[in-house]
Amino acid sequence: MRTGVAMIAIAVTFTGVVAPTPPVQAQGLLDALFKSPAQRKREQAAQERARQKVAAPKRVKQVRISGPSYHRYKPDTLVQVAFSEIADPVVTAGIDDMGLAPLGIDAFAEGRPALAELSVRALPEVAKAVIDHYSVHPDYVWVAGTAVTDRARAVIEVLDAADTVGLSAADYKVEVPADAFDVTQGTERQKELMAFEMKLSVAVASYILDATRGRVDPNRISGYHDFKRKSPDLVKQLEALSKADDPAAALLAQNPQGAHFEALTAELKRLQDLDDVARIEIAPNVMLRPGQSDPELANVMAAIEKKGSDALKTDHALLFASYAGKPEYDQELVALVKAFQKEAGLKPDGIVGPATRRALVGITNEDRIEKVRLAMERARWLPGVLASRRVFINQPAYTATYFDEGKSELSMRVVVGKRSNQTNFFDDEIELVEFNPYWGVPQSIIFNEMVPKLRSDPSYLDRLGYEVTAGGKRVASRNINWSTVGRSSNIGVRQPPSSSNALGELKILFPNRHAIYMHDTPSKSLFERDTRAFSHGCIRLQDPRAMAAKVLGSSVDEIGSHIAGGQNKRVELTSKIPVHVAYFTAWPDDSGKVEYFADIYGRDGYLRKAIDATEDARSS
């Protein structure tokens, strides 16, 4: 007992504590006195870790990268032509209305004062070009003496026929002065001829501009269109026309040249000469299966009778004669529908759905005329003369065609972007072919499709064999906190060459800001489908080796040898080849026959609105 008391006394003396302490403080004192060195070391380490601990990363909201959008079209604005810049403000002598001296040798100079009162609106480029031309060449182009020239009349015939090449004659309408006039009214005749001269030059320059580049700026329609708008030298063109032996032919030649535009022009005339026949309407959402009952069946029967071949109608003549409009879809009617489906190249399953409805309803002549007109407008966005060696991809047709010396040498099926990942419409040049390619995953796929999976399964990409980089350094996907990854995270993903690589054996590159190219694919079955809009925007080729051989000027066997080694390899073309990633719902085949295709992205409607807005702006 004395020993315990003595120890407490010593402890109190040692600490210098003479006053009573609260219980908690006393307990802390005892802990400090009796803890082992190891315990104290562990506590100090824990305290140090707490000080150095970084706040937990903040979870970032899921990022989604959206594609381009469609716009409300804003047409070009017309401006007043500044004729005052070329009008002569000084009249040096009075004009004698009793004679025609002012219409003599220097008639243009005598008539310039009349320009101060002339009011004409035009596109800005046209307005400037006309003033620039007459500033340098102050003379009549379309008038001689007191009359309109034959050259002018020939040019006006081209302007009046603008509808035949997909333009609008109303945009270039010029009233021609009558041949007969009162010779005592020299001043008025002079004004009339000067106004005609300027209005015709404005109309001609406007036609040149529209025929060359189109009336619509495609880039204002949507972010899916990517064209540098053409800027023809209108001053040079006006001068050339003024000196041309045949100005009418020279003016007409401003339209796209080549077999494709000739075919569209011929098709437009053919359609306009036909009598339009009203089509039979079938409800857009029809879905009729054998054994069901639907009042739309009567319209289906009427459409088959109209669209079916003579042989089909002969084989089922009794059924057509006895059908009284009943809604019950019985086996006899199913057999008729199957026969029509087989004839139309459809799966003969007897189900009346979207594909069968399209085949039954078809399109009217007016519908075709609209498609051809839109095709002629789009053709103006392409080069005026297509290169003799080129690759032409038509998205609505799901085809890619290689041309050499202007002739089709290879054509194949393709898969294009789905509606949510539309393929862009643009021109470029093929530069190289990459064999056993890496697939650099686009940021839109990384954030829209991969990151949501990686947040719950960080090892997802590791298992698939994808390479991941963060800030340019290679990392394992499992070591990234994907919940904190956002647009500024600088994450890259690529798939190494392999038999399962999304790009297959090769890709054909024409570097562009849309990251679109042609490539192989492991998903070969999609080429058997009629509708082939399944990709993220790139062009999948049915026969990539054949296309690679054409663009490289080699053989399919040589292409195979590049692939056989399994190594990633790039081969540059000896000369670049133009490629048109195009969108035409009407386009001629190799024989010149115009074919029609479904508007898979709805772009016809947007172009029609743009043309309507343009016509409204020009007529207001």
Catalytic residues: 519, 538
Instruction: Output DSSP code: residue 296.
Output: T
Kindly report the number of other CB atoms within 10 A of residue 466's CB atom: 16
CB contact at 8 A, 434 and 552: no
Q: Give the separation between CA 292 and CA 459, rounded to whole angstroms.
A: 50
Q: Give the separation between CA 354 and CA 274, rounded to whole angstroms.
A: 28
Q: Give the separation between CA 401 and CA 246, rounded to whole angstroms.
A: 36
CB contact at 8 A, 222 and 426: no
Instruction: Output DSSP code: residue 449.
Output: I
CA atoms within 13 A on the CB side of 106: 3
Helices marked H in 362-464: 365-379, 443-445, 451-456, 460-464
- Indicate the pairing of strand 225-226 with strand 425-435: parallel
How far from 184 is each of 97, 103, 518, CA to CA, in Å?
Answer: 5, 12, 72
Contacts of 359 (CB under 8 A, 6+ apart): 307, 340, 341, 344, 346
How far from 345 is each of 64, 284, 338, 528, 529, CA to CA, in Å?
Answer: 40, 20, 11, 13, 12
Would you call 443 exposed, middle or buried from its count of C-beta atoms within 10 A (0-12, 13-18, 19+)?
middle
Q: What is the 3-state secondary structure (H, E, C) of 504-564?
A: CCEEEECCCCCCCCEECCCCHHHHHCCCCEEECCCEEECCHHHHHHHHHCCCHHHHHHHHH
CB contact at 8 A, 326 and 297: yes
Query: Could you give the 3-state DSSP secondary structure of residue 301?
Result: helix
How far from 469 is each of 403, 460, 463, 488, CA to CA, in Å?
Answer: 40, 15, 16, 13
CB contact at 8 A, 193 and 143: yes
Please, what is the end-to-end C-alpha distance for the chain in angstroms?
116
Q: What is the token pair recorded at 45?
A: 């380490």
Q: What is the 3-state secondary structure (H, E, C) of 349-404?
A: CCCECHHHHHHHHCCCHHHHHHHHHHHHHHHCCCCCECCCCEEEEECCCCEEEEEE
- Indicate the pairing of strand 399-404 with strand 147-148: unpaired
Q: Which residues of 112-146 are buried (b: 16+ CB within 10 A; e: fewer)?
A: bbbbeebebebbebbbbbbbebbeeeeebbbbeeb
Q: Give the separation between CA 278 and CA 364, rounded to whole angstroms.
A: 7
- Per the DSSP assignment, residues forming a β-bridge with 408 are 403
Closest CA to 200 of 138, 246, 158: 158
Q: Give the separation between CA 226 and CA 556, rounded to whole angstroms.
A: 33
Q: Give the separation between CA 167 and CA 172, rounded to whole angstroms.
A: 10
* Residue listed under structure tokens 């340098």: 136
